[in-house]
Amino acid sequence: MILKRLIVLTVFAALAFGLGGEAHAQWVQTNGPYGGSVSCFAVSGTNSSSPMLFAGTNDGVFLTTNNGERWNAVSTGLPQSGVRAIAVIGTNLFAAADDSGVYLSTNNGATWTATDMTVLRTQIYITTLTVSGTDLFAGTYCGGVFLT
């Protein structure tokens, strides 16, 4: 009876902890963005075979369309500061830059323009962006939440 319980517990533990022959995911480092600090991600085109993945870094925004094999800087028009948050609404890409407000790209990051949220840059530090439907929310450090 004790042996039977021990076998049942062993089989249960093996299944519960993944020792039953199942494959486990492995983390593999990609090429980029060039070994720098990455603070955020956003995905656009999730229904396609090769979605666009954007990464916000201390050096701006980088884009990969091949699952991280190659990253390209897409920061023309962004200030020379880090990007802490990225969000996508349809074909609009938003990036929150350090102490500079929120910027908009309508061409997958090729160029960026300042939004009306840049007027807040002297008063708040935007730490996160998120989307609900067509609304963009900005979370700030000690400044609350803003909606556009």
Residue 122 CA to residue 137 CA, distance in Å, equals 18
Decide: 93 and 54 in contact? Cβ < 8 Å.
yes
Reported pTM: 0.75
* Grouped pLDDT means (10 residues each) for the chain, 148 residues: 41 44 71 78 78 91 89 89 91 87 92 78 78 91 84
Amino acid present at 15 = L
pLDDT of residue 121: 55
